[in-house]
A and B are shown apart, each in its own frame.
Chain A
Amino acid sequence: MDLMPLSEPVLLILLSLAEQPRHGYAILKDVEEMSDGRVVLSTGTLYGALRRLLEEGWIERFEQEDTSRGRQAYRLTAPGKRNLQMEVSRMKHLTRLAGLRVEFPTLAKSARVGHPKES
């Protein structure tokens, strides 16, 4: 499997579903809130991303009992959680490395960019 960095909207959608299962509009609002209004998804973009994530098996449909209109909710699957954790650890590694290089350039001279599993 060859993974590439997730785009910001997809990462935010996954983070939204990591907290709890949500339906479409709740995801839209949560993504906007998490990004302080910087990322505002359109309906087309949201459902394009959800379709992809469903197809890849990262999320699954989930029947929510408390919805009046019988709206579909979505939740993360085990592979989805695993991939999200991998992405988060990649970002953590990158952030740590960037901090080192910017604040202590001489100490971090030998630090390499790469996935934590590779180093």
Chain B
Amino acid sequence: MAAVPVSAAIPPQFRREFGEEMRGVFADAGMAASGAGWARQLSFGAREIAGLVCGALEEQVRSLAGWSLFPRRFAVITNRSRFRFPTAGITLMTVTLACVLFAIHNARAIAQSFTSRVYVYGGHTYYYEPDRWSFVQTFGFAFVVTVVLTVAVLAVLHTLHRSGVQRLSDAQTWPQQ
């Protein structure tokens, strides 16, 4: 049952290409599992849902961004670039950054809604400045700053021959004879 909304999340192109076949295989596997007790059926259901969620996520990211979210899942990687940082790590860090900024943005909005825009404290009058930037603008700015800083740090490390790839290529995995 849960497979129906999840399968709708699979990109249309993938669904067109493999959808019918997948349904056939799912039906065959389900039939085989149905006669093998409830434990087997339960593990079949859990495995199918997990596979479908991961597959839908992977195919969505691939169709939108053109790269793999789980490169190690299938590991048939050819023409790999020398950039070894996992792309899934970049995605997760970007999502985390967006979540943190979104939480800050919402917290400020809530705080402002509960407070008067003008208040007097110690004989001085203070004004709450409304947020000048929307969430998207804040995220865009923070993202650009992060990318610029990262590139700068990597450039320095590369110049000093201390980047991860360079250190890895210099590593000795067996003792010198």
A residues lining the B interface (CB < 8 Å): 1-7, 9-10, 23-25, 28, 40-53, 56, 58, 69, 71-72, 110, 112-113
Enumerate 8 A-B pairs (CB-CB under 8 Å) in ascending A order. Answer: A2-B79, A7-B72, A25-B29, A42-B47, A43-B26, A44-B51, A44-B52, A44-B53
Question: Is B2 in contact with chain A by the CB < 8 A criterion?
Answer: no
- Contact between A46 and B54, CB atoms less than 8 A apart: no
Contact B74 A43 (CB under 8 A): no
Chain B contact residues, majority secondary structure = helix
A24 & B76 in contact (Cβ 8 Å cutoff):
no
**A42 touching B52 by the CB < 8 A rule?**
yes
With the chains together, A51 CA to B54 CA distance in Å?
14
Contact B17 A5 (CB under 8 A): no
Q: A48 vs B25: C-alpha distance in the bound complex, in angstroms?
A: 14
For A110, the chain B residues whose CB sits under 8 A away are 177
Across chains A and B, the number of contacting residue pairs, with CB separation under 8 Å, is: 95
Chain B positions within 8 Å of A, measured between CB atoms, are 14, 17-18, 21-22, 24-26, 28-29, 47-48, 50-56, 58-59, 72-80, 173-174, 177
Candidates A4, A43, A49; contact of B48 at CB < 8 Å = A43
**B6 to A: closest C-beta gap in Å:** 9
- Return chain B residues, CB-CB under 8 Å to A49: 74, 76
Please, which residue of chain B has its CB at the minimum distance from the CB of A27?
B25
CB-CB under 8 A for A48 and B79, given A28-B29, A42-B47: no
In the assembly, what is the distance between CA of A28 and CA of B51, in Å?
13
Q: How far is the CA of A71 from the CA of B24 in the complex (A)?
A: 8
Q: How far is A58 from B177 in the complex, measured between Cα atoms in Å?
A: 40
Q: Which residue of A lies closest to B31 (CB)?
A: A25
Complex Cα gap A5–B177 (Å): 28
Contacts of B47 in A (CB 8 A): 40, 42
When chains A and B are docked, how far (Å) is the Cα of A7 from the Cα of B70? Answer: 12
* Distance in angstroms between the alpha carbons of A28 and B18 in the assembled complex: 15
Complex CA distance for A49 and B76, rounded to whole angstroms: 9
Choose among A10, A42, A50, A69 the residue with the greatest number of B CB atoms under 10 Å from its CB: A42
